[in-house]
Every structure is written in C-alpha cells, then in structure tokens.
Amino acid sequence: MHHACGIDFGTSNSTAAHYTAAGPRLLALEDGKVTLPSAVFFNLDEDSLAFGRVALAEYLEGYEGRLMRAMKSLLGSSLIDQGTEVAGRQLSFKSLIGCFIGEVKRRAESGAGHSFDAVVLGRPVRFVDDNDEADRLAERTLAEIARELGFAEVSFQFEPIAAAHAYEEDITREELTLVVDIGGGTSDFSLVRLSPQRRGLADRSSDLLASSGVHVGGTDLDKRLSLTAIMPELGLGALLANGAVFPSTVFFQLATWHTINFAYAKKGWRTLQELAPDVTDSVRFNRLLNVIRQQSAHHLAMRVEDAKIALSAAETVAMPLPEIDDALQLTLQRGAFEAAIADELAAVVRAADAALLQAGVRPDEIDTLFFTGGASAVPALRATLAARFPSARTVEGDAYGSVGSGLAVVARQRYG
C-alpha cells in the first residue's frame, strides 16, 4: 500500500488530489484554493522564491526579479536543456520545473496530513506534435523530476482520460463520451465508453476507444492575440530603411509566455542596437526598447490573457496599455480575435476528428461532449466543436479540477 496522489502539472494552473472515503478530493494549494498558478518568481529584492498567485503579485508590485510561467511548454523541446539567468547564476529549466512540482507536493502533503510516495501525473496526449522521440523525452524528463522529488512510484495518465474518470464518478447510465480537455498548452481528446457499473474496474483498456491531441492551447490563443493586436504597436511588420521587414524574432519571444525572458537577454539587446540606425518608425522602436529595458512584457502577457478571457463574455473589450504608452488603449473585437485564431481552431477540430477516425465512430454517435480545461470557455472553440457533434449533449466539467480529481481516482486504482 502507498500514500498515492494525482498531480496535474498544467501550463497555466496546477492541482493535486488524493482519494478519500468520500471520493476524490482536490487539495488546497494556496490560500484555501485548489489551483496553484504555474508560476515561479525569483524575488531579488527580498532574496526569496515565490509560487503561484504570490509570484504573480510580487512581479506586478514591481519587485526586481525573474518570473517564469508556462514551464510545461518546455518539456520535450530543445529548450529544456537551457535555462535562465537569475542573480548572475544560470538555472536549468528542468530544475525550475522540479522546484515548482516539489512545492505542489509539499503543499499537497500539508493539506492531506501525510506524505505521498506514489503519484499519477497527468500528461497531454501529445507533449510534442509529430515527433515521437521528443514526446517520449518529455515524459521521461517529468518522471525523472518526480523521482528526484521522492516519489517511489511514478506513472502517467492522459489528461482527458483522467477527466473522464472524474466525470464517471457521477453518471447514472452508459455514455459514449468525447472528453474535450483544452488547457493552457494543449488540446486533448479521448473517446471513452463510461458507465456506473465499470467505474471501479482497474482495467479499462477496452473502454478507451481513442485518444488524440495537438499542441494548441490557451497560451497559443494568447500568443495569436498578442501578435495581432499588441506587437504591431511595438513595431511588428515595420520596414527598415533598406525596405526589409524588421526581424520578427523578438516579437514572437515577447508574445510567448515561456520565451519572454529570452527577449531580455544581452545578445538580443545588442541586435536591436545594431538595427537602430535603419529603423523608420522610431516611436514604435522606442516603445519596444522600453518594454525590454523595463522587462514589462509579462505585464503585457497578463493583459492579453485577461482580454482573451473577457472576450468570452463580451463582444468588445477595452485594453489599456500603459506599459507601452500611457495614452494607448486598444479596442478588441471578439470577431477579430476569432479570425486571428482560425488556424488554431482548425487544428483543434482536426485533432477531435482524429480520435473518431481511430475508433471508427461517426460524429452523430457521440452521446456527450465533456468539456474541461480553462481554454474550453472560448466561445469560438465551443461553437466549432458543438457544430461538429450536433447530436451530443454538452457537459461542463470543473475547468481546472476535473483532471486532478480523475488522477486521484487512477492513483487509487493503481496504488491502493
């Protein structure tokens, strides 16, 4: 017998859960809340380390330091062997991920009142698209991190399958369910046959009909919105004196959560200084320099994320941008946002279709669409998938807790 838990290490938020006599229980990780934003802040002023909401708050309060978010996106990429400089020393991204997951483990154990020596970690169906070796490397890296943190038993479950286990705890009849898990970094689908009679069985392999996924999630939608609306205000698309387009690398770095810190590197700053004599739009170029000098791109990324969320409820959103210019305020339209993410929407639908193709199931045979994941709230994603499966009823899962709860169910089945 083990003390086992499930940990959902997410791109944007993380959870931990264990199984109790009353069923799966999400553990409070920060101020009574069961979610911990996947953020680490190295506070150089206080010589301290902060996690979650405290990390974001200290960064926004203006403390000198280094903020890391969306670290999960580094798994399986060539960047995992690199790192970031903090107070003159280089920290590897692998150790940063370990630092964060270790904090999740510590807080979960505090909430449970005992230690955990076994864990089921959630994983996307695909960490990396179209590269099986990189995908396996991502899982191996995460397993190594967990073992180094003291877990004697480490295993994985696809995140949408974990969400299906959580949903199955409450159903009253058999359902053919397509689990739609659209998180911060990936969109994952599992086609599963669920029933109250089979929920306690350890071997559910015959009930899992198909799984598919694509490396497109909420942070990709943020990135697209940033590139469309924000980065042009810093010079994206501007021409140099010789007619060439200003290099776009820095704008993509600033628009992508896990690469923002690269834009602050000395090498990039030197490149911008070399380009300065050829700049034709000095206003936007000086804005770009100021954002990098002040290291305020994380503020911009948070504004973009907030705007994306607001556009789920409103057709029009006003977004002030004091980090760029005190007088600058943009008006964002939901329609323009949906047009900007058209390619991402198409990729998500293709991934859903791939699951049905694997199983040989028609769209009209799906009984239930079970939505989970924070980015599943984007109306365009909902409408596109609902139109693809017109006969299915829509069920709302816990956007941030379904996967973690399901991992606890799996942990109970595997480890007792």
Can you tell me the distance from the alpha carbon of 329 to that of 229, in angstroms, rounded to the nearest whole number?
A: 11
Position 338 pLDDT exceeds 70: yes
pLDDT value for 86: 73
pLDDT tens digit sequence for 14-40: 999 999 999 999 999 999 999 999 999
Position 83 pLDDT exceeds 90: no
Position 239 pLDDT exceeds 90: yes
Structure tokens at 74: 């580094």
Position 322 pLDDT exceeds 90: yes
Q: How far is CA 363 from CA 67, 178, 189, 367, in A?
A: 43, 10, 13, 9
C-beta contacts of 77-81 below 8 A and 24+ residues apart: 77/128, 77/134, 79/258, 79/259, 80/141
124 touches 348 (CB < 8 A):
no
Structure tokens at 38: 């996947």
pLDDT value for 190: 95
Query: What whole-number percentage of the chain has pLDDT above 90?
Result: 88
pLDDT tens digit sequence for 362-384: 999 999 999 999 999 999 998 99
64 touches 45 (CB < 8 A):
yes
Average pLDDT over residues 90-95: 87
pLDDT value for 1: 60
173 touches 194 (CB < 8 A):
no
Where does the pLDDT of residue 81 fall: very low under 50, low under 70, confident under 90, or very high at 90 and above?
confident
Position 287 pLDDT exceeds 80: yes
Give exposure, 245-277, as e/b (b: 16+ Cβ within 10 Å): ebeeebbbbbbbbbbbbbbbeeeeeeebeebee
pLDDT tens digit sequence for 154-189: 999 999 999 999 999 889 999 999 999 999 999 999
Average pLDDT over residues 104-111: 98
The vertex-237 CA angle with 234 and 241, nearest 5°, equals: 95
pLDDT value for 352: 96
> Helix or strand or coil: residue 240?
strand
pLDDT tens digit sequence for 44-66: 999 899 999 999 999 999 898 88
Structure tokens at 357: 């193709």
pLDDT value for 84: 77
Average pLDDT in the chain: 94
CATH number of the domain located at residue range(s) 4-171+398-415 in this protein: 3.30.420.40
Where does the pLDDT of residue 294 fall: very low under 50, low under 70, confident under 90, or very high at 90 and above?
very high
pLDDT value for 364: 94
The vertex-352 CA angle with 351 and 357, nearest 5°, equals: 95
Structure tokens at 412: 């109970």
